[in-house]
Amino acid sequence: MTGNWDLIGNAPAVRILDSAVSAGRLSHAYLITGPKQLGRATLAKLLAMAANCETPGEAPCGSCTQCERIKRGIHADVRLIDRHTPIRGVGGGDASTEDKDANRLRLSIEHIRDLQHDGRVSPFEGRRHVFIIEDAETLKFDDGITSPAANALLKTLEEPSETSMLILVAPDRSAVPDTVASRCQWIQLRPVPVDQIRDGLISKHSATPEDAERFARLSNGKPGRAIELLEDPAAVGHYDQMVLRILDASTSSLEGRFRYARELSGQYRKDQSAVEAELEAWSSVWRDAMLAKHGVKDGAIHTNWSAQLSELAAQCELDQIVEVIEGSRSAIRALRANAAPQLALEVMMLTLPSISQPVGAQ
Ligand SMILES: [Zn+2]
């Protein structure tokens, strides 16, 4: 590879982009898909750097003025837009108030008009305007109807300009209107294997081998999550509290489990992704219980909870453990399909086997 693509994992996607950059054939529109914290925004920034880099043959070099300014988020021609971005109204639309921004559910047609307006003038300091559009899944309504913003965006996609590039970011391709997705080059990011995250934490983030191993395993294939755990001690504390809550609910009475479901569903209204992360942790905690049941030590994630997980596993049958893992995955699917959160979580609680012995404190 010729460019300095500072991304952990997803080498096949990076290779495609690197050869397009070397051949001078960058597309005018990309759609980057994958779950959050896989590196979608990082890759979008690297693409913006590649489009503006000043070091011939090494783009994105990561160290020229253009690359530096884009990395720091202060480049005048590279804009990140999500549904909360204030609308400036320069494109002829209404400027919005701060209050509306926080509550806005989807990208607005005014966002697209603003970027169309910006795209019509020459880049200010670089070669190319780059508009990174997050929340691209909100270009489609829940019933599948294309939003007015998507229709406005189509116009830009149909009349590509030499001096602008659009990068859309979404969880998956089917979440974006097909008319939009089909006009973008699709770059699909996948969960990253533990060893690649571990090596990336050591080489790019100066982690100790022990921390790198632990956080790579806890990250569920998401380098962004692993970096957060490495760099933010509070994130580790929160994770440990989450495991404690899960062990606690796992070993409590039905009443206690329903109370937990109620609390978690209350949190869902405020922070959906935190609740999804907790449900993912349910499945990885119980997956470790399954390994403990089989007496397998390799591959366990929650190594500092192994005594408690062995005690938990000793009180369950294997098929009961499988049922809990399935239950937490169904709950995630149900929430994504807009099921009532409390009901979905109570159904999950009903998949838990009854446990008579509490598991020891850490
Ligand atoms: Zn550069």
- Specify whether 240 is located in the same domain as 184: no
Distance of CA 67 from the midpoint of ligand 1 (Å) = 4
Distance 4 CA to ligand 1 centre (A): 9
Percentage of the chain exceeding pLDDT 90: 80
How many angstroms separate the alpha carbon of residue 6 from the centre of ligand 1?
Answer: 12
Same domain? For 160 and 259 the reply is: no
Number of domains in the chain: 2
Q: Is omega for the bond preceding 177 within 30 degrees of 0, making it cis?
A: no
Distance from Cα 104 to the centre of ligand 1, integer Å: 35
The three-state secondary structure class of 167 is strand
Does 284 fall in a domain? yes
Looking at the structure, tell me whether residues 159 and 257 fall in a common domain: no
Q: Is the four-CA dihedral 67, 70, 71, 72 of positive or negative sign?
A: positive
Residue 98 within any structural domain of the chain? yes
Q: pLDDT of 129-177, one tens digit each?
A: 999 999 999 999 978 899 999 999 999 999 888 899 999 999 999 999 9
C-alpha distance from residue 204 to each of 71, 190, 212, 223 (Å): 15, 20, 11, 11
> How far from 261 is each of 62, 216, 257, 323, 340, CA to CA, in Å?
46, 28, 6, 17, 12
State yes or no: pLDDT of 288 exceeds 60.
yes
- Residue (of 75, 72, 84) closest to 108 by Cα position: 84
Residue at 154 is within a domain: yes
> For residue 217, is it within any domain?
no
Query: 175-215, pLDDT tens digit by residue?
Result: 999 999 999 999 999 999 999 999 999 999 999 999 999 99
Query: Residue 259 domain-assigned?
Result: yes
Confidence (pLDDT) at 356 = 77
Q: What is the pLDDT of residues 96-142, one digit of tens each?
A: 665 567 778 899 999 999 999 999 999 999 999 999 999 999 999 97
244 and 183 co-located in one domain? no
Tell which residue, 337, 254, 243, has the closest CA to residue 284.
243
Direct distance between the N- and C-terminal alpha carbons of the chain, in angstroms, rounded to an integer: 47
The pLDDT value given to residue 100: 64
What is the span of the domain harbouring residue 26? 11-188
Q: Are strands 29-33 and 164-170 parallel, antiparallel or unpaired?
A: parallel
Positive/negative CA dihedral, 225, 38, 291, 323 = positive
Instruction: Using the 3D structure, point to which of 188, 214, 241 is the last residue of a domain.
Output: 188
Query: Per the domain annotation, does 193 fall within a domain?
Result: no
What confidence score (pLDDT) does residue 9 get?
97
User: How confident is the model over 20-52, as pLDDT tens digits?
Assistant: 999 999 999 999 999 999 999 999 999 999 999
Question: 178 and 62 share a domain?
Answer: yes
202 is a domain residue: no
The pairing of beta strand 78-81 with beta strand 29-33:
unpaired
Q: Pick the closest to residue 46 from 24, 65, 68 (CA basis).
A: 68
The residue from 124, 158, 188 where one domain ends is 188
User: CATH number, domain at 146?
Assistant: 3.40.50.300
Q: Identify the domain boundary among 188, 218, 245.
A: 188
Same domain, 287 and 149: no
pTM of the full structure: 0.85
In a domain, 50, yes or no: yes
Q: Same domain, yes or no, for 132 and 48?
A: yes
Distance, CA of 262 to CA of 118 (rounded, Å): 46
pLDDT at residue 93 in the model: 61
Q: What is the DSSP string of 343-362?
A: HHHHHHHTTSPP--SPPPP-
Q: In Å, what is the CA distance from 218 to each residue of 13, 142, 288, 327?
A: 24, 32, 12, 20
CA of 74 to the centre of ligand 1 (A): 15
Residues 174 and 258 in one domain: no
Same domain, 171 and 26: yes
**59 CA → ligand 1 middle, Å:** 6
pLDDT value of position 186: 97
Ligand 1 centroid vs 53 CA: distance in angstroms?
4
Distance (Å) from CA 77 to ligand 1 centroid: 15
How much distance in Å is there from the Cα of 68 to the middle of ligand 1?
7
pLDDT at res. 40 = 97
180 shares a domain with 87: yes
32 and 142 inside one domain = yes
Q: Which two tokens stand for residue 92?
A: 């002829």
Tell me whether residue 296 is exposed, middle or buried, using C-beta atoms within 10 angstroms of its C-beta: 0 to 12, 13 to 18, 19 or more: exposed
